[in-house]
Amino acid sequence: MLVGKMMIDVPISQQDLDNWLKDLNLVAEISNSKAILIAWNAAGELSSMLSSDSAAGSEIQALLCHLSSNHSAKTLPNATLSAATSSIATQSKAVSSNTTSTLSSNTFETSVDAQLAQEQLISPNESISVLPRLAHHQITSSLSVSELTELVSQSQLIIDTRQHSDWRSCSSIGSVICLSLAWPSGANFGFLCFYHHEAQGVDSKTLRLAKLISDSIQHRLGEILSQHSAAEALSRGAPSNIDTVDLQSFIDSFEEHIWMKNAAGIYTLCNRSVEKAWEMPRSEIVGKSDAELFGEDIANIFLEGDRLAIESGMPIIVAECLDGGETKNHLWLETLKLPTLNPHGEFVGVIGMTRNISKHKAVEEQLTLATNVFKNSVEGVVVTDRHGNITDVNGAFFEITGYVRDELIGQNPRIFSSGRHDKAFFDKLWNALLANGKWNGEIWNRRKNGTIFPQNITISTIYDEVGDVRYFVAVFADISAQKENEAQLTHLAYFDPLTHLPNRMKFMMQLKQEVRQAKRLNLQLATVMIDVDLFKHINDSFGHSIGDEMLVELAKRLRSQVGDQDVLSRIGGDEFVALISGIDNSEDATVAIHQLRQVFEQPFIVSTGDHLRLTASMGVSLYPSDGTDADTLLRNADAAMYRAKNDGRNNYAFYTESLTQQSFEHLKLQSALYGAIEQNALYLMYQPKLDLVTRKTVGFEALLRWHDPQLGLISPAVFIPVAEKIGLIHEIGLWVLETACRQGIRWLSEGKHFGRIAVNVAGQQLQRSSFVDDVKRVLAETGLPAKHLELEVTESVMMQNPDLAIRDLKRLGDLGIELSVDDFGTGYSSLNYLKKLPIHKLKIDQSFVRDIPFDTNNTAIAKAVIALGHALKLDIIAEGVETKEQADFLQQNQCDQAQGYLFSRPQLPEDLDAFLS
């Protein structure tokens, strides 16, 4: 059975109020008590208040406060309580504005004064203010009328409030009767109280009288409701009987499920949608209860919704979820439940209109899920509008970037720019994003604290219904740790953990790359395999940790001996391999080997304090002569190394055996050259230079000679390049200059005229920044006037760095030294530079002098050089003149000077008297 306690909004006439007040006064008088009637409208507002004693305001207030505080103390937290007095006054105003419920003379007055009086009357005084305050909403909604009535009916007759736990605090009331008043349907109307300030003041007789009045009022309420319903129906012009067939057709036309249950909860009506949804015909639905149709669990859910609607007395919307079991989806229903009354105001049942909102719920669930994913994602998420302005970011984003929300909303993501990517990168990104709707890649961005970090980021375009760009969503992960791990793994994969040198795999990659480049640029390479001799003995005798120490130190030493462009790798326990690039021939490789071998000259001082010595065997293969691919080069270097080992260790070998021989020669030469100066093995010879017209001596060229006790006479054409390679050329060059200058001084002191002594300057000498100062110092130290000195610099050296040459040669020229371009015609001279160079003379290379005047090419070149030199106002000297024909030709073609075997071979100074005047 459904129980209805709805609020009913039917106005009460003044006449009825007056009559009820009279009854109240009468009983109050008979029983020597005070009476009060309080009524509510459908909105839960105080609509009528009748009192037998207009002066009993504080008692009424206490009564109200007591009832409400009693309730609110149980159900409402104090924090929800708000100032009450004005609210009660407002209620009074609502009462006064209702003309049908105007209060009689001994009710509260409706005039403004009376309202004010009432406001004062129910304003909190000292004693009341300690009670919880009564707010409008507490009476009207939080403390519902039904609850209040329930409280009232529970305490029908309290003869001594001090003995009653609920009433003990209400000190102004000694005894009280409270009766609830209801409409015929059971809906609350209000309540009736008789009270006395003393205990026992209200007795059972008063109770009987009160019940009489209560019954009378309730009876009258039934009549009022009937009259009101009839009048309403009349004014609407509604038919008294609804045609049920038409009604059925009407409700069948709705998609929603429409049904009606009577007061007993039995279905009396349903539409076609219900039949379809419940998969049963109307005949099986009508006449049955929810429990009969659906079983107890579902029935309870439906009945709970009905109960809420009936209790509230108003249409309500309830959402009901029916469990679809494990295999099926839940069914979500949203039902508008409307409690209905008959014309007599009696509850007759509930009308329901149900929609299936499962789809809506599913979308809602998806949204909740998406929101939670967004919030809780460990990846940073940033959303921008189509202009790129940030509209949302998630928590992970803050954690990763260090920004807070307010700093980001409305900003453009370019504030994270690290500067690592150029415009072309972002152009590509945007093109992909706009063309494909998606872009994924790695970006370096900047945190708020300025540090930059790598992200793996996916940017997606979100379009609206018409396909226009609405948002961009970027989801990214900070991959700093991943990058570090990758770098560590790469290092582990490609580098030796002990020495941190590239390992075999890395070496092979580099070797392959170098071979490709050497092929392209026509270069040569040397691969040097280095195997430490008998390293096992070190490990066995001193332990592996000492062995490791020595390998680390050895790696360091070897690394310091190879160039920045060269590669040094540890490919095995005691095996290293060096890749030397930028070599022109096997001699260059020999020089590199010599340098590598030097690292074994010093002992290795290990942590035990021991001074240990190592030697190594080395094998060399050259690209392209010993192999044109990486594998072959390494294999052949290895084979050469084994040959060196077999030859007694502490040795080296070229893969091509003849090169090994050459290399040994070269090394011998190299070693011998180191001691040549100290051993006085170097000396100078002088070759006269003559004026071609007068045939008089104009000078001598100083030519270096080396006679080694073991190796014999060695040509400067052989040892000067070696001296350059091993860095001895500066020392040797200075010795030549000093020796030539001293010879000049000697001749001067002997009164011999020699013109100028010409000294050859190697390229490396000129490149040295101290060269000009060195020359000045030698002139100063020897005392030779600069006008007796000439320096010969080859054309190719001058043109290597013409700007530097111009600067230094000018300084030398300013001293009074004459400058000649040696081997002219063998290199490429820029005429532009040539005319800027502070030079005095061009020397036609002997290769062009040979066979003139018979060789037409050389003849033409010689003529051209003479013409060019003269055009630049330079003297021309021809070298290597061996025949009279050559001399005649040169003379006829205005060549100024000549030197060569025709006139004299290079000779010792004491043999040159014939050329000195």
Ligand X SMILES: Nc1nc2c(ncn2[C@@H]2O[C@H](COP(=O)(O)O[C@H]3[C@@H](O)[C@H](n4cnc5c(=O)[nH]c(N)nc54)O[C@@H]3COP(=O)(O)O)[C@@H](O)[C@H]2O)c(=O)[nH]1
Q: Which residues sit at the interface with ligand X, rule CB under 6 A? A: 687, 701, 703-704, 715-717, 720, 736, 760, 762, 792, 822-823, 846, 879-882, 899-901, 906
Q: How far is the CB of 724 from ligand X (least distance, A)?
A: 9
The owner of tokens 């075999």 is: 504
CB closest to ligand X, residue no: 900
Minimal distance, residue 912 CB to ligand X, in Å: 14
Nearer to ligand X, 79 or 717 (CB): 717
Minimal distance, residue 732 CB to ligand X, in Å? 7
- Nearest distance, CB of residue 760 and ligand X, angstroms: 3
- Provide the Cα torsion 769, 770, 772, 774; round to 10°: -160
CA 584 to the chain's CA centroid: 49
- Between 696 and 905, whose beta carbon lies closer to ligand X? 905
Residue whose CB is less far from ligand X, 408 or 698: 698
**How far is residue 78 from each of residues 123, 221, 306, measured CA to CA in Å?**
19, 36, 31
Comparison of 217 and 762: residue with beta carbon closer to ligand X: 762
Residue 202 · residue 35 · CB < 8 Å: no
DSSP labels for 179-236? Answer: EEEE-TTS-EEEEEEEEESSTTSS-HHHHHHHHHHHHHHHHHHHHHHHHHHHHHHHHH
Q: How many residues does the chain have?
A: 917
Which residue's CB is nearer to ligand X, number 174 or number 744? 744
Closest CA to 713 of 739, 682, 736: 682
Minimum CB separation from ligand X for residue 811, in Å? Answer: 20
Q: In the complex, what is the shortest distance from the CB of residue 487 to ligand X, in angstroms, rounded to a whole number?
A: 50
Measure CA 577 to chain center: 41
Number of helices (H), then strands (E), in the chain: 34, 31
Nearest to ligand X of 46, 757 (CB atom): 757
Shortest Å distance, C-beta 588 to ligand X: 19
Residues near 766 by beta carbon (within 8 Å), at least 6 away in sequence: 793, 797, 804, 805, 808
CA triple 624-629-632, angle to 5 deg: 95
Could you tell me which of 413, 417, 414, 364 has the C-alpha nearest to residue 390? 413
Q: H/E/C letters for each residue in 211-222?
A: HHHHHHHHHHHH
Name which of 194 and 700 has its Cβ closer to ligand X. 700
CA distance 764 to 725: 10
What are 616's strand-pairing partners?
532
Shortest reach from residue 799's CB to ligand X, in Å: 16
The smaller minimum CB distance to ligand X, of residues 256 and 792, is found at 792
Q: What angle do CA 619, 621, 623 make, to 5 degrees?
A: 160
Q: How far is the CB of 784 from ligand X (least distance, A)?
A: 16
The 3-state DSSP class for residue 881 equals coil
What is the distance between the alpha carbons of residues 239 and 247, in angstroms, rounded to a whole number?
A: 13
- Complex with ligand X: residue 123 or 846, whichever CB lies closer: 846
Dihedral sign (CA 528, 533, 537, 542): negative
| Residue 627: half-sphere exposure toward Cβ, Cα within 13 Å | 23
Neighbours of 770 (CB within 10 A): 10
Toward ligand X, which CB reaches closer, 37 or 878?
A: 878
d(CA 511, CA 514): 5
Give min distance, CB of 904 to ligand X, in A. 9
- For 496-502, the CB contacts below 8 A with 24+ separation are 496/569, 496/570, 498/548, 498/551, 498/552, 498/570, 499/551, 499/552, 499/555, 499/570, 500/555, 501/555, 501/559, 501/568, 501/569, 501/570, 501/576, 502/567, 502/568, 502/569, 502/570
- Give how far the C-alpha of residue 245 lies from the chain's centroid of Cα atoms, to the nearest Å: 71
| C-beta closer to ligand X: residue 393 or 766 | 766
Going by their DSSP bridges, the two strands 257-262 and 188-196 should be labelled as unpaired
Asked if residues 889 and 853 have their Cβ atoms less than 8 Å apart, the reply is yes
Residue 806: CB minimum distance to ligand X, A: 20
Rounded CA gap, 730 and 743, in Å? 20
To ligand X, the closest distance from the beta carbon of 899 in angstroms equals 6
Nearer to ligand X, 496 or 822 (CB): 822
Measured between alpha carbons, how far is 77 from 61 in angstroms, rounded to an integer?
A: 21
Cβ closest to ligand X, residue 123 vs residue 796: 796
Nearer CB in complex with ligand X: 632/796: 796
Using DSSP bridges, classify how beta strands 567-570 and 524-532 pair: parallel, antiparallel or unpaired: unpaired
Least Å distance, CB 830 to ligand X, is 21
β 875-878/897-898 pair status: parallel
Question: Whole-number minimum distance, CB 869 to ligand X, in Å?
Answer: 16
- Give 453 or 719: the residue with its C-beta nearer to ligand X: 719
Residue 692 C-beta: closest distance to ligand X, Å: 15
CB closer to ligand X, 562 vs 878: 878
Least distance (Å) between residue 901 CB and ligand X? 4
Instruction: Answer whether 761's CB lies under 8 Å from 792's CB.
Output: yes
Q: Which of 360, 310, 365 is nearest to 333 (CA)?
A: 360
User: What CA–CA distance (Å, rounded) separates 9 from 101?
Assistant: 12
Instruction: Tell me whether residue 81 or residue 876 sits nearer to ligand X (CB atom).
Output: 876
Residue closer to ligand X, measured from CB, 796 or 846:
846
Other C-beta atoms lying within 10 Å of the C-beta of residue 731: 13
CB of 839 to ligand X, least distance (A): 15
- For the bound state, the minimum distance from the C-beta of residue 880 to ligand X, rounded and expressed in Å, comes to 4
